[in-house]
Amino acid sequence: MCGIVAAAARREVSEILLEGLRRLEYRGYDSAGLAVLDDDARLLVHKRLGKVAELEKAQHAQPYYGPTGIAHTRWATHGEPSAANAHPHTSGDRIALVHNGIIENHSVLRQQLEAEGYVFTSATDTEVIVHLLHRAMNGCDDILKAMATVVDQLEGAYALAAIDRENPGQIVGARQGSPLVIGVGIGENFMASDQMALRQVTDRFIYLEEGDMVRITPASIAVFDAQGDAVERETTRIAEAEETVELGDYDHYMLKEIYEQPRALAATFSAAGGHEVADSAFGECAAEIFDRVKAVQIVACGTSFHAGMVARYWLEELAGIPCEVEVASEFRYRKRVQIPGTLLLTISQSGETADTLAALRDAGTDDFVGSLVIANVDNSSLVRESDLVFLTRAGAEIGVASTKAFTTQLVGLLMLTIALGRRNGLPQGREQELVNALHALPDYVQQTLALDTAIKALSEAFIPKHHALFLGRGIHYPVAMEGSLKLKEISYIHAEAYPAGELKHGPLALVDDDMPVVAVAPGDELLEKLKSNLEEVRSRGGELFVFADRQAGFTSEPRVRVLAMPHCPEVAKPIIYTVALQLLSYHVAVQKGTDVDKPRNLAKSVTVE
């Protein structure tokens, strides 16, 4: 999704801006641009459709150098991907502005501005902001004051950075609903939508809060809150080792991240205690909140939603706690009846997903005993706005398709189940079994990764297909959902997941010899029922790909291909079967030649609703 980079320095900044954009490429985008104020305070702008590499070519062909600049990668919402719609947008040849988010009242503002003679050159919602800023500069010589009057007129979400030819050497920014972070340098300062963009220039960051505005110059940072009062925001130093984003010997980030799972799972468990499940792994006041929990409401999107679906089985079966799971974009707009004593649990890799964040904000905490987030990015908006936090230690996840984030979320969710379960009669012996399973998890995942070649062989059958069906029962239904999401996301094969028992209620009509059916079939108590469901598929000529526990009694035969999975404890199964399905999708996508790490139309961090 859109990315912002900005730099105010005493040296040339265009290369810093381009490097920042390259570091944000993983988030997904369709066009890119930069604007610099050169030493003569001339405003110079390059914008290109396509990759940052196209912008670099433009910069090499005609270098624009200067000590102050802003840059952007755009993911189209209003107006098609094009150079004209790319940011920065300019007004009056003096102001340039970049924007993440969506301005909901842009149509009415546009009409007003057009009536006043402003000429629009793009179809974006953003262009209204730069013209409003230009208008506000009439009779005002301070761009920050002008920006304050502009944001008052905006409805929607924004992170903004702007430069003005008449105010050289400074950049102003504002945030509401979209993240913006300040990078603190020595004799230079920066802004970005994600601190990852600035890691090459600083390790010190100031996270702006909702409604904040900021002015940076090479020598100063001034932050103002929503009331316009000057405020001090904490500076956080991020250790170098916390993030490595090098691809190394892997062909794709997705594959690297799949293979990092044993380490990520172990790191997540050990950072949160390692030998036992302590309440404090969820925050200082976790014990006090957990004592009052009678139910859990999980809210998340996409893969994180699937993690929540798995957790519901654990919370109800192991901890005896009622649990509801809902996608954030639906939860927000539904009139709900809340069980007293409900914990609001959000799950998000990025911690910035707009729908999930809005759900947390809209829910308020009045109806809940508290809010807990399971997130992978420290200092993200969800982390800063939740009462309790469990940080997964997946490390930076670059591939748009979420892999290690999902499995580490499941570690956090199982630990939560234990923490709540022990208050609700989970026997000590059972708790110890679960802790032992958490310890052994990296090893089971390693055994699953060893099946990579066999999974690649299975994947070849999917290459000419246009559709696939994923089946699972019980806790493995959400695993099937996650498997089908991975396949459609990166290989563009239409895939659907069904609880296996639902097959005969409709989807069986789709089954013929052109429809591969993937079955998640660990040897659990539903095995016999699942076997009958699979017979229903086979007898209609469907080709089956069964991921089964090696002790489950499945054998390959014509039109039934079985992958023998490691035998492991029940709670480890959703994790290792997901890993196998990640590999399946990965190999299908690679052989189909799609852009595995940056699938079309998708963004890593979905910061618009």
Where on the chain is the footprint of ligand AGP (CB under 6 A)?
301-304, 348-350, 353, 356, 400-402, 489, 605-606
C-alpha 35/C-alpha 56 separation (Å) is: 13
CB of 70 to ligand AGP, least distance (A): 25
Please say which residue, 297 or 605, places its beta carbon nearer to ligand AGP: 605
Contact 346, 358 (CB under 8 A): no
CB of 373 to ligand AGP, least distance (A): 10
Please say which residue, 36 or 405, places its beta carbon nearer to ligand AGP: 405
CB of 395 to ligand AGP, least distance (A): 14
Please say which residue, 133 or 358, places its beta carbon nearer to ligand AGP: 358
Tokens of 323: 């649990």
Please say which residue, 342 or 349, places its beta carbon nearer to ligand AGP: 349
Q: Which residues are catalytic?
A: 2, 604
Please say which residue, 562 or 606, places its beta carbon nearer to ligand AGP: 606
Contact 68, 13 (CB under 8 A): yes
Please say which residue, 54 or 385, places its beta carbon nearer to ligand AGP: 385
Tokens of 99: 């924007």
- Residue 291: CB partners within 8 Å, gap ≥ 6? 423
Edge to edge, what strands does the sheet with 189-192 contain?
43-49, 31-37, 68-74, 3-8, 189-192, 181-184, 204-207, 235-237
C-alpha 577/C-alpha 310 separation (Å) is: 12
SS3 47: strand
C-alpha 607/C-alpha 356 separation (Å) is: 10
Tokens of 453: 């070649």
Please say which residue, 448 or 582, places its beta carbon nearer to ligand AGP: 582
- Residue 604: CB partners within 8 Å, gap ≥ 6? 1, 26, 27, 28, 350, 397, 398, 400
Tokens of 508: 């069986």
Q: How far is residue 303 from each of residues 103, 299, 310, 484, measured CA to CA in Å?
A: 27, 12, 11, 11
Question: What torsion do the CA atoms of 391, 393, 395, 398 make, to the nearest 10 degrees?
Answer: -70
C-alpha 106/C-alpha 88 separation (Å) is: 17
The residue sitting closest to ligand AGP, measured at its beta carbon, is 302
CB of 427 to ligand AGP, least distance (A): 33
Please say which residue, 176 or 353, places its beta carbon nearer to ligand AGP: 353
596 burial via Cβ count (<10 Å: 0-12, 13-18, 19+): buried
CB of 353 to ligand AGP, least distance (A): 3
CB of 390 to ligand AGP, least distance (A): 14
- Residue 415: CB partners within 8 Å, gap ≥ 6? 269, 272, 273, 277, 281, 390, 438
Please say which residue, 216 or 588, places its beta carbon nearer to ligand AGP: 588
CB of 374 to ligand AGP, least distance (A): 9
CB of 357 to ligand AGP, least distance (A): 9
CB of 345 to ligand AGP, least distance (A): 13
Contact 544, 517 (CB under 8 A): yes
CB of 547 to ligand AGP, least distance (A): 19
Q: Which of 369, 352, 371, 348 is nearest to 360 (CA)?
A: 371
Please say which residue, 28 or 499, places its beta carbon nearer to ligand AGP: 28
Return contacts of 127-132, CB within 8 angstroms, 24+ apart: 127/89, 128/103, 129/89, 129/97, 129/99, 129/103, 129/154, 129/158, 129/160, 130/88, 130/89, 130/90, 130/91, 130/95, 130/96, 130/97, 130/162, 131/91
C-alpha 47/C-alpha 557 separation (Å) is: 57
φ, ψ for residue 521, nearest 5 deg = -130, 60
Contact 31, 83 (CB under 8 A): yes
CB of 402 to ligand AGP, least distance (A): 4
C-alpha 111/C-alpha 109 separation (Å) is: 5
Please say which residue, 67 or 302, places its beta carbon nearer to ligand AGP: 302
Dihedral sign, Cα of residue 44, residue 202, residue 392, residue 438: positive
User: What is the SS3 string spanning 86-137?
Assistant: CCCEEECCCEEEEEECCECCHHHHHHHHHHCCCCCCCCCCCHHHHHHHHHHC
